[in-house]
A and B are shown apart, each in its own frame.
Chain A
């Protein structure tokens, strides 16, 4: 009994290790399911790698705890198995607990800027993450230099106290930042996620402190050591599982459908925000003829015309302007006082259409793009006005003329005729000049997300 208490390998230890392994597996499964099962595309940018780093940090923490507390009895051949510093200091601190909390702090920071300050965060996520992680790295380096750990990977109280303080400070910062955004009425579960994270991390720190104190005070009591080890491992497993969250600062729409079983999966952001689909000019005017002489922007307000025009534009590979127009129209449908929804929609539009390298990037000038990205009020109703005007000009000069003589317009008129049950006077000489007679693409590029592999992406992006 005494042997295994010192060197590790007690039955309870193995139980603890298997529980940890199970939790790690569950964590990985939970993070991969939306992408595998629901077949979502992997998001780009910080929406992907912040959760990815969280997972990595969780794994690191788990491994660190298991190794440093001597749970497993292994042949320690190489020096690095034995090295306390790698496991207990580096892996647990800067690459484990510290990294986890930093990711969450970055997430809160993002949300704070977007929803409270109402403009896009000034610092890129990765830079901010590095900044936040710096104290941990500094502390770890300091410990490495001073080497206060004994062979059992334990430190004297004078070392442990500041470390505990460091852990606690970060939790306190996290709590503080979360409180600063608690008044915002988030549409998706961001806030509950954050509070859960706060709760979990506070509990874990408390339990750690307790376990440590017990361990230190009653150093010679075997069952206490075994028990505290077990508790430590168990608690860490629960912690990493409960702490994990997807949304860095973007709601992952599948999560909405996963959690609320009764809601159907959302296809577009506008659906998720509850914008009624036919709220935009539901009735067409009774006069059936769509007047070619009316300005394009008036015609586009009509949903059926817009859909027909959009299909035409998609066929000439110029559809992104029309899709943008529609989503800005949907943005306009949101009530002016519901600034949270407006901000969600505005961010969605910016991510999809404005940012350089966006999947459906639109053709606007540099000034307009910078104006939108540097805007001080994401909820402003005229945020996209200049861009819209530029794109409408583009549509007028490029697409409008060809549309009137296209197949899509013919179909639109036919459908129109059926709807209003009038005889359509067929114009006999339709000069069908398709703008693009064939596109060598297997699918419509605007409905396929992962079309372009990185090797085909332009160097300037």
Chain B
């Protein structure tokens, strides 16, 4: 009985709980052991599980998506002031995106002497056209994007940005690298490779589409805007929440540590590994054709694979539950139809069987199987009884995240009980 609380000693409120737990322990000991069933329920209701600590490893491009989702779902959400505080971040994303695109197109125009390779058959324009046409605007926006302090997003600026964004030469860069391809399908295979080289954030099209709203003087970001905003994490952010909701008293309190995914951040993870109940590993499955932010010679999916392997082999995670979130499924859906899955080395034995929606499911199952294989490869026989679950998530779908967390919560409680010998 003392097993439950003595195992997880990490709560801030541990003192009062320990006293409570000891009290109850004494009471139970005095009663007869015959009615075990009743005692189990008693234990569950009366003793609050001490905090479980979840450790989030957001692979590679940490977008703090979990932290923000959890805030919205299980905590009080964002109040007006907090929403407003995200406005500069969103504007920064806009400036950074357009700068990336302008610089990218200039580079491509310079590199490719034979610009007709990138010529668009429809309107007969090429990359080299962009600098001459939108030259001044492009230079100005590129310079703004390189500054430390961004100016407020005025109507003027947003119109300029929109004009450039709609330019065909830019759209081709965006076409296969992000969510929205602007509708028309272009079939230049060279551009596949190029666009995935740009470190385009996934929120690019979303924000560009809503530029008018974003540049409004009274702009207050919506919840959706906040979820889309891209912030690279450095260091560690800690969130405490209860999946059951703030109101209910019984229920675990989780402490979630959100960590950065870049290579330099990973040496800090080691400090958080002790006493962790579960590890949530978020792997962005739509990244199979992209390169790392911090090392553009390495494919993201390959890096994810190595990272996952490393996590699984850690000694301190022998008994830790591993939750794998296969994230960014919505982007994956759209991308897998255009960019072949076999372009990633890990998935090179993939054979598309059909097309359409079934193909997406087939591709997803393939990826999932690969991760499972990897898990069993890296798990020693004596560790095989640790919990391993895979969940499909989409960063922005609140319902899905909520459901996922409920499932996660159930799994962990079940594990706790079985460890305590009660199940």
Contact = CB atoms under 8 A, between A and B. Distances in A.
Interface of A: 295, 297, 313, 316-321, 356, 358, 361-367, 369, 386, 389, 392-395, 397-399, 401, 434-441, 445, 452, 456-461
A386 to B, nearest CB: 8
A440 B272 contact: yes
Contact of B234 (A321, A366, A434, A459): A321
B39 interface: no
20 contacts: A316-B235, A316-B237, A317-B271, A356-B295, A361-B264, A363-B265, A364-B294, A366-B291, A366-B292, A366-B295, A366-B296, A366-B297, A393-B148, A437-B12, A437-B255, A440-B271, A445-B268, A452-B267, A459-B306, A460-B303
Contacts of B271: 317, 439-441, 445
B119 interface: no
Contacts of B274: 440
B250 to A, nearest CB: 23
B265 A460 contact: no
B147 A362 contact: no
A401 B85 contact: yes
Contact of B263 (A361, A435, A437): A361
B231 interface: yes
B177 interface: no
Given A320-B264, A367-B296, A435 B236 contact: yes
Contacts of A316: 235-237
A424 B12 CA distance: 30
B66 to A, nearest CB: 15
A295 B147 CA distance: 13
Given A363-B265, A445-B268, A460-B307, 4 more contacts: A318-B236, A386-B146, A458-B307, A459-B310
B301 to A, nearest CB: 13
Nearest to B275: A440
Interface of B is mostly: loop
B236 A317 contact: yes
Contacts of A434: 238
Interface in B185-239: 199, 231-238
A441 B273 CA distance: 10
Contacts, number: 111
B153 interface: no
A458 B263 contact: yes
A317 B296 contact: no
B293 A313 contact: no
A321 B233 CA distance: 12
Nearest to B230: A397
A317 B235 contact: yes
Nearest to B89: A397
Contacts of A361: 263-264, 267
B236 A365 contact: no
Given A295-B149, A365-B199, A452-B270, A356 B263 contact: yes
A364 B199 CA distance: 13
Contacts of A401: 85
| In the complex, the 7 A-B pairs of residues with the closest C-beta atoms, listed nearest first | A318-B235, A361-B264, A316-B235, A441-B271, A317-B268, A366-B296, A318-B234
Contacts of A445: 268, 271
A120 B419 CA distance: 56
A132 B27 CA distance: 81
Nearest to B199: A365
Most chain B beta-carbon contacts within 10 A, residue among A297, A393, A394: A393
B262 A363 contact: yes
Contact of B266 (A362, A398, A440, A458): A458
B238 A365 contact: no
B260 A363 contact: yes
A456 B236 contact: no
A363 B147 CA distance: 18
